[in-house]
Amino acid sequence: MSQSLADMRRDYTREGLSEEQAPAEPFALFRHWFAEAVKTEQAPVEANAMTLATVDAEGQPHCRVLLLKALDERGFTFFTNYDSAKGEQLLANPRAAMTFFWPALERQVRIEGRVEKVTSVESDAYFQVRPLGSRLGAWASPQSRVIDGRGELERLLAETERRFMDSAPHCPEHWGGYRLLPERLEFWQGRPSRLHDRLNYRLRDGVWLRERLAP
């Protein structure tokens, strides 16, 4: 490496985050930050990309990047194969955390809480608006399972294409959405000299409490 990791550093110089700028509940602030990220972040960054962390039955944490597909007053929704590794982990421990990072805005949001499956109606509604290739892939891929090589995946896709040659693929029972029901959201705004602004929201007895954390 031409540059050591210890020397890789940038200073954060954008505006701060004060209590006066933050609403009493976190969803309004998330929507505002997300809208700014959609306008500001440039490809290949996707504003709805987030890191999802789960824990398996042995206590081993796992992380991967997914795309947020819905947000409402209940929580944050993503979709996947229920039989995948993350699906098995959420079955064993239905709690998770997600982090959004928007480097152009020097911001991140950390979210933690319980996870539940969305209804089959919600899953089917989203499945039907996916591109055809993605719908066929949901049927073809045994997600997270060991396969012999790329050739096996292409064979499974060809079989799936023949299966649905005369009909549109419907939503598989093994595929659908999860909703993270937040109990904590932290809004992080980069500041100079690593003295970042961190406003933390915690849900207690149905009421959001806001507090500032030291960087």
Residue 184, in any domain of the structure: yes
pTM for the whole structure: 0.91
Determine the pLDDT at residue 1. 54
Residue 202, in any domain of the structure: yes
List the catalytic residue out of 194, 204, 210, 212.
Answer: 194
Determine the pLDDT at residue 104. 94
Rounded CA separation 168/134 (Å) = 12
Residue 108, in any domain of the structure: yes
Determine the pLDDT at residue 147. 87
Determine the pLDDT at residue 31. 97
Bridge partner residues of 163 (DSSP): none
Determine the pLDDT at residue 146. 86
Q: Which residues are annotated as a binding site for FMN?
A: 64-69, 79-80, 86, 108, 143-144, 188, 198
- The CATH code of the domain that includes 180 is 2.30.110.10
The residue segments making up the domain with residue 90 are 10-130+171-212
pLDDT tens over the chain, length 215 residues: 566 766 666 777 788 999 998 999 999 999 999 999 999 987 778 999 999 999 999 999 999 999 999 999 999 999 999 999 999 999 999 999 999 999 999 999 999 999 999 999 999 999 999 999 999 999 999 899 888 999 999 999 999 999 999 999 999 999 999 999 999 999 999 999 999 999 999 999 999 999 999 99
Residue in the block written with tokens 């597909």 = 69
Rounded CA separation 160/156 (Å) = 6
Quote the crossing angle between the two packed helices 150-163 and 132-140, to the nearest 10°.
110
Residue 162, in any domain of the structure: no
Decide if 194 is catalytic: yes
Determine the pLDDT at residue 51. 98
Residue 205, in any domain of the structure: yes
Determine the pLDDT at residue 14. 80
Residue 186, in any domain of the structure: yes
Determine the pLDDT at residue 8. 63
Question: Which tokens go with 75?
Answer: 């929580």
Residue 136, in any domain of the structure: no
Q: Is 136 helix (H, G, I), strand (E, B) or coil?
A: helix
Residue 139, in any domain of the structure: no
Cβ contact 116:91 at 8 Å:
no
Return the DSSP state at 119.
P
Q: How far is CA 205 from CA 33, 69, 110, 170, 187, in A?
A: 26, 28, 21, 40, 21
Number of domains observed in the structure of the chain: 1
